[in-house]
Amino acid sequence: MTEEKKFSDSNRPARKQAVPERKELPASQRRHAAKLTGGSSTPTTGGTSSERSSRPARANNNQNRSGQARNSTQSRPNGQGGNRSNTSNGGQNRNQRPGTRSQTAEGRPAVREKKNWSTQPREGQVDYSKQKDNSLKQYVNENQKRKQAAEAAKAPKKPAAKPAEAPKKPATKPAAKTATTTTATKSAGAGKFGGALASGNNSARNNSRKRNTSGTGQQTPRRNDKPRGSKKSRRIAAKRGPVVPPTERKEQPLPKVLEYRIGMNVQDLSKLLHRDTAEIIKKLFLLGIVTNQNQSLDGDTIEILAADYGIDAQVKEEEDVADIDRFFIDENIDEGKLVSRPPVVTIMGHVDHGKTTLLDYLRNSHVTEGEAGGITQHIGAYQTQLNGKTITFLDTPGHAAFTEMRARGANVTDLTILVVAADDGVMPQTIEAINHAKAAHTPIIVAVNKIDKPGANPDEVMNQLMAYDLVPEQYGGDTIFVKISAKFGQNVDELLEMILLQAEVLELKANPDMPARGSVVEARLDKGRGPVATVLVQQGTMHVGDPIVVGNTYGRVRTMTNERGTELAEALPATPVQITGLNDVPQAGDRFIIMPDEKTARAAGEERAKRAQEAVRNSGSVVTLDTLFSTMSEKAMKTVPVIVKADVQGSVEALSGSLKKIEVDGVRVDIIHTAVGAINESDVTLAEASGAIIIGFNVRPTSLAKSQADSEKVDMRFYNVIYNAIDDVEAAMKGQLEPVYEEKIIGTVVVKELFKFSKVGIIAGAMVEEGKITKEAKVRIIRDGVVVYDGEVASLQRGKDSVNEVKMGFEFGFTVSKYNDIQVDDTVEAYVMEEVKVK
């Protein structure tokens, strides 16, 4: 106690001195601490922080651990944390981390001791401890100032890199060196917090990265540096090569005007607007239009979108490649390049009035020099010469069945020669020819033929024709009449002269300096040469090799010949030529045009074929869901759809014309498609879609078409005599008529008594007075001579048995469907409806 009292006095040793003793560590910990500090295991007991920092063991430690000095406070004037720049340069050897361990060894909390460790500023650093305001803020300001000073020192060196007189290299190198030094200093820990703050090097990740790039620049293999992923994925990655970062899409400005086509989709618009499809879809969604990137948009939607983007929208006018008719408008022809061309003449007239005789005479007597003696071919047109001038004749057939083709021929002609036999006069087809010529606004020259014949009366012909506004010049009119004998060539030259004279009056001109265009005169399928067409060039010049669109087909002009088989390289306006190289057989009267390239020709031809097919399908004659209702509702009119295929165009026209004339009790033939050539799959498909019969004249189906027709049950008929075809179709039409039913009374029954049943109602007990009654029969209930009900038998029974038939003289019971008011003494007429054959 005494001792205690002693110590409690002022003599008592200071508490401070007593602390180390209280905190003295066990021996094992002391040894460990000594190991950490690398010095003596003697416990440090007190002493100032400056003394401790100058301790040899600690000094050595700091030197060896260059940069591990989290605890080294040398560069920490304020004693707030370690010099992280050092940390950044060294590894993290746990065993050598002095922080807590050394503190433990000293028995003092580390933070308190560290405060006093590094108060000594480094070389070149400001000793903030001696400054009035040693706050962090001040440090930052100071540091910034120093940075600025360093940059300012660097700045003047830059111009030195390009002195006019100094060599470039030496001037540049020092500058570069300075820059490197600055960077190195920074990363090495310049500044109060070293480079650690600047480089963000206060994370374990960055530390490890730094370690890997130690002085040598070599990567030190470490546990975590193992290649990632499976072997396979690494192999794939190696093959794929370095990952190329996706190129950023450059934001392009919106167009000033959005030129669009109706039916464009979001994808198309995104290209025009330089915007993502997702953005456009979102925009449309916000505008209340739900769409996807492939859905076609209408004009309004596109305009709304454009308005939302703040730009104008305009429908793009695109030329219709399939529309070849626009090339036939006279406005498209350069008038400055027009030159005279030969007249195109059509010879028309009644049967046997001498058209062919006249044409034959012209063909054989007026041929071009050099071609005389050549074998003439029928190509539907030819040219003849008179006094060096050329006349083109269209050799169109004159039979009534060819009316349509003749009408088309008249449209391409400049002049019509109306042949009228002087011994026969004006006949029906003479009048028809006049009407066609007038409809085509074609001048008529009348050739009164067969004047050599004994009974010929040309004046009578002239008189007759005046009734049709064909008034001879000698009677004050303006129609040229030439009296000829085609058989003997009498006045034929005079006729030709008149033609040339009339052509001069008409001032027929064309531009040969443009791609050719014209019309088909005749076409057929040649076994060896494929589709062959005689075309008349109306404008421009046609060359061999030209890409061509004809009607609904296309091709390239492979060969070009005239009526004498002479191969031509080019054909000028008003020249008829036979061409090959088409993909399909066109129709007489189809227009053709030469295209700039085969691709365009193909596109136009295919599009035209597609549209033609669609037109056929959409036409009222084809039975579709749309037309079915109207056809059914219009029961009075029925049609028999027919497809006509023949070997030559002439047969097609003849057969079609004859079939159209058939009419059986309101049923008529509807020709939905005609073409030259074998029956193909397309014909069968069309027949199946429209329920048509296919009539092949001198043609057969292809093997594929035949098997398709068999499986689709399409009716195909083949003929080589036109009349047989017509008879068969007529018979088929009679079979197609709505069957006619006639009422036939099969028996008479008288009701004798009634039996009432709650479940079945009234059952009439009756007797068959005449004939019979059957379960399928219809019944007419007659009361006092008046029909009170007409219906069907519901049940028929004898006794309790249900029967199908009850004959005369038998009693039976029966009920009438939907009728419960039958009465005793009612007479019941039993009858059936029987089909009657059309005669």
Ligand X SMILES: Nc1nc2c(ncn2[C@@H]2O[C@H](COP(=O)(O)OP(=O)(O)OP(=O)(O)O)[C@@H](O)[C@H]2O)c(=O)[nH]1
Binding region for GTP: 349-356, 395-399, 449-452
Report in angstroms how near the CB of residue 483 gets to ligand X at its nearest. 10
Shortest Å, Cβ 619 to ligand X = 32
Closer to ligand X at the Cβ: 285 or 488?
A: 488
Of 72-80, 269-277, 483-491, 693-701, which part binds ligand X (CB under 6 A)? Answer: 483-491
Per CB under 6 A, the list member of 453, 638, 772, 783 interacting with ligand X is: 453
Query: Would you count residue 406 as binding ligand X (CB under 6 A)?
Result: no
**In this structure, what token pair is assigned to residue 86?**
């050092």
3-state secondary structure 272-318: HHCCCHHHHHHHHHHCCCCCCCCCCCCHHHHHHHHHHHCCEEEECCC
DSSP structure class, residue 490 = B
Check residue 354 for interaction with ligand X (CB under 6 A).
yes
Nearest alpha carbon to residue 779 among 818, 807, 752 = 818
How near is the Cβ of 357 to ligand X at its closest, in Å? 3
Question: Is the Cβ of residue 345 or residue 692 nearer to ligand X in the bound state?
Answer: 345
At closest approach, how far in Å is the CB of 345 from ligand X?
15
Would you say 451 or 695 has its CB closer to ligand X?
451
Q: Report the C-alpha dihedral over residues 573, 574, 578, 584, rounded to 10 degrees.
A: 80
Spell out, one character per residue from 680 to 699, where the chain touches ligand X: x when CB under 6 A holds, - when not: --------------------
Nearest alpha-carbon partner for 68 in 108, 38, 98: 98
Q: How far is CA 86 from CA 81, 192, 493, in A?
A: 12, 12, 122
DSSP state of 799: T
Minimum distance from residue 426 beta carbon to ligand X (Å): 14
Per CB under 6 A, contacts with ligand X among 386-405 are 398-399
Which run of H or E residues covers position 539?
strand 530-539
Closer to ligand X by CB, 475 or 488: give it: 488
Counting contacts by CB under 6 A, is residue 353 touching ligand X?
yes
53-to-29, 38, 62, 64 alpha-carbon distances in Å? 21, 14, 10, 15
Closest CB to ligand X among residues 97, 453: 453
Contacts of 832 (CB under 8 A, 6+ apart): 743, 744, 746, 774, 776, 777, 778
Q: Which is nearer to ligand X, 449 or 479 (CB)?
A: 449
Burial class of residue 207 (count of CB atoms within 10 Å of its CB; 0-12, 13-18, 19+): middle
Residue 354 or 677 having the CB closest to ligand X: 354
Strand 339-340 to 509-510 pairing? antiparallel
User: What is the number of helices (H) and of strands (E) in the chain?
Assistant: 27, 31
Pairing of strands 444-449, 480-483: parallel
Smallest separation, CB 427 to ligand X (Å) = 11
Name the helix (H) or strand (E) containing 805: strand 805-807
Kind of pairing, strands 786-798 and 811-816?
Answer: antiparallel
Using CB under 6 A, pick the residue from 485, 575, 578, 674 that binds ligand X. Answer: 485
Site for ligand X in 413-452 (CB under 6 A): 449-450, 452
Query: For residues 486 and 763, which CB has a smaller minimum distance to ligand X in the complex?
Result: 486
Nearer to ligand X, 30 or 483 (CB): 483
Using the rule CB under 6 A, which residue among 176, 179, 287, 351 binds ligand X? Answer: 351
Total residues binding ligand X (CB under 6 A): 17
Mark the segment that binds ligand X (CB under 6 A) among 127-135, 352-360, 461-469, 474-482: 352-360
For ligand X, the closer CB: 447 or 548: 447
Q: Which stretch binds ligand X (CB under 6 A): 114-122, 289-297, 345-353, 588-596?
A: 345-353
The string over 266-278, giving b where at least 16 C-beta atoms fall within 10 Å of a residue's C-beta and e elsewhere, is bebbbebbebebe
| Amino acid, single-letter form, for residue 691 | G
- Alpha-carbon gap, residue 24 to 14, rounded angstroms: 17
Binding segment toward ligand X, per CB under 6 A, in 297-305, 362-370, 480-488, 759-767: 480-488
Q: Which long-range contacts (CB under 8 A, 24 or more apart) does 618-623 make?
A: 619/672, 621/670, 621/672, 621/690, 622/672, 622/689, 622/690, 623/690, 623/691
Using CB under 6 A as the binding rule, whether residue 487 contacts ligand X is answered as yes
Could you say whether residue 356 binds ligand X (CB under 6 A)?
yes
Closest approach of ligand X to the CB of residue 726, in Å: 20
Whichever of 397 and 443 has its CB closer to ligand X, that residue is 397
Q: Which is nearer to ligand X, 297 or 486 (CB)?
A: 486
Closest CB 652 distance from ligand X, rounded Å? 18
Angle, helix 681-690 to helix 598-618, in steps of 10 degrees:
30
Instruction: Tell me which stretch binds ligand X (CB under 6 A): 144-152, 227-235, 350-358, 657-665.
Output: 350-358
780 binds ligand X (CB under 6 A): no
How far the first Cα of the chain sits from its last, in Å, is 156
Task: Scan for tokens 């391409």, then name that residue.
Answer: 412
Letter for the amino acid at 118? S
Provide the minimum distance between the beta carbon of 450 and ligand X in the complex, in angstroms, as a whole number. Answer: 4
Q: Where are the alpha helices (DSSP H) in 327-392?
A: 355-365
φ, ψ dihedrals at 199, nearest 5°: -90, 0
Question: By C-alpha distance, which of 259, 265, 261 is closest to 297?
Answer: 265
Strand ranges, E, within 567-611? 570-571, 576-582, 591-594
Q: Which amino acid belongs to residue 321?
A: V
**CA–CA gap between residue 144 and residue 787 (Å, rounded):** 122
Is residue 483 near ligand X by the rule CB under 6 A? Answer: no
Least distance between ligand X and beta carbon 415 (Å): 18
Closer to ligand X by Cβ: residue 61 or 491: 491
Report the nearest approach of ligand X to the CB of residue 443 (Å). 21
Q: Burial code of 806-821, b = ≥16 C-beta within 10 A, e = fewer? A: beeeeebbbbbeebee
Smallest separation (angstroms) from ligand X to the CB of 449 = 5
Nearer residue to ligand X within complex by CB, 355 or 524: 355
Which residue is listed with tokens 């019979």? 772
Q: What is the DSSP string of 171-214?
A: HHHHHHHHHHHHHHHHHHT-STTTTHHHHT--SHHHHHHHHHT-
Indicate if the alpha-carbon torsion angle 41, 42, 45, 51 is positive or negative: negative
Distance CA 334, CA 343 (A): 20
To the nearest whole angstrom, how small is the minimum distance from the Cβ of residue 731 to ligand X?
A: 29
Told to check if 538 binds ligand X by CB under 6 A, we report: no
Of 212 and 377, nearer to ligand X (C-beta) is 377
In this structure, which amino acid lies at residue 155?
A
Residue 493 binds ligand X (CB under 6 A): no
DSSP 8-state secondary structure symbol assigned to residue 412:
T
Of residues 51, 225, 352, 834, which one binds ligand X by CB under 6 A?
A: 352
Smallest distance from the beta carbon of 589 to ligand X, in angstroms?
19
How far, in Å, CA of 278 to CA of 293, rounded?
8
CB of residue 488 to ligand X, shortest distance in Å: 6
By CB under 6 A, name the one of 72, 73, 277, 357 that touches ligand X.
357
Q: Which stretch binds ligand X (CB under 6 A): 196-204, 349-357, 407-415, 464-472?
A: 349-357
Q: CA 84: distance to chain centroid?
A: 67
Q: Which chain residues interact with ligand X by CB under 6 A?
A: 349, 351-357, 398-399, 449-450, 452-453, 485-487
